[in-house]
A and B are shown apart, each in its own frame.
Chain A
Amino acid sequence: MANNFHAALILILFTAIVALLCLLTALRPELTRARGGKILAFVALCILPVLAVWAGANEHLERSTSTQFCLSCHVMANFGQSLYVDDKSYIPAVHFQNNRVPREHACFTCHTDYTMFGDYKAKLRGLHHVEVQYFGKIPKPEDIKLYTPYNNRECLHCHAGARTYEEASSHHKTPDLLAQTAANKLSCTSSGCHDTIHDVGTLGDATFWKPIGGGQ
């Protein structure tokens, strides 16, 4: 977290310096009559702003993968709460509490496609979510569903090849179970196996884990 804070601070300072150079050029355009002024104007109004915006876009994209970002919309609060359910059958909770996913990027780790532009597609959907948040009818948390069935690839990204996954007796109930799972023909989460996911509708009866020392 400290590194992220320092990176953001450096970026803000860099942007401020670029803005000051632009302001100087804007307030004293007569500087551009000299050769040095022309170079200053080109660097200040063309090259440095591009660099600043590129760095800002990177920072914003990185931040948008954080758990804090995902849970900043009120409708997501229950999903965040479900990560602390004290019940090992809750798949997201057991992953979050045991550091099987990075806690600061917990949502993003399981909810984006592992493709080159997966996060950009997620951003486009995110824009739609913001529109619904402010201009549409916000659904109840328990009515929020995935756009497409959960892809086993997101599980196998980490579990494939793991000894505990491949040798678990429950994964050999049928001879081709692992192959069917790898081919995404048998869902990990909706085939009666690991089907307790966020279950935000039942949180009222749940007990919650309290991390020693506060946790995240």
Chain B
Amino acid sequence: MTADTSTIERRIRWSGMLVVTGLVVQMLTLLWTHPLAFMCFILVGCPLVAAGILFYLYSLASHHTS
């Protein structure tokens, strides 16, 4: 296993964790019909999932260029 492989796997682990956390937040907000649940989804869940996806794509792109 090269250092490069180790780096991308570490990044995939982080991006996976971010997406999982965002999806868990989304699931919790879906259990409640309230403006705070909506805001929690928009302000916490969505950014976490978006960050995870972007970090995953970045890890792919940076792996290919290196």
Give chain A residues whose Cβ lies under 8 Å from the Cβ of B12. 25-26, 29, 32, 41, 45
Give chain B residues whose Cβ lies under 8 Å from the Cβ of A22. 16, 19-20, 23, 52
Q: Which of A65-112 contact B (CB under 8 A)?
A: 66, 68-69, 72-73
- Which DSSP category, helix, strand, loop or mixed, fits chain A's interface? helix
Cβ B56 vs Cβ A53 within 8 A? no
Give chain A residues whose Cβ lies under 8 Å from the Cβ of B14. 26
Q: Which of A1-43 contact B (CB under 8 A)?
A: 8, 11-12, 15-16, 18-19, 22-23, 25-27, 29-30, 32-33, 41
Interface: A60 (CB within 8 A): yes
Give chain B residues whose Cβ lies under 8 Å from the Cβ of A41. 12, 56
- B37 — nearest CB in chain A belongs to which residue? A60
Stretch from A126-134, A176-184, A186-194 contacting the other chain: A126-134
What's the Cα separation between A29 and B15 when bound, in Å?
11
B residues adjacent to A (C-beta < 8 A): 5, 8-10, 12-17, 19-20, 22-24, 26-27, 29-31, 33-39, 41-42, 45-46, 49-50, 52-53, 56-57
Contacts A29-B9, A57-B41 aside, 13 further interface pairs with beta carbons under 8 A come to: A19-B20, A25-B16, A26-B13, A27-B16, A30-B9, A45-B52, A45-B53, A49-B53, A52-B26, A53-B22, A57-B46, A64-B35, A133-B35
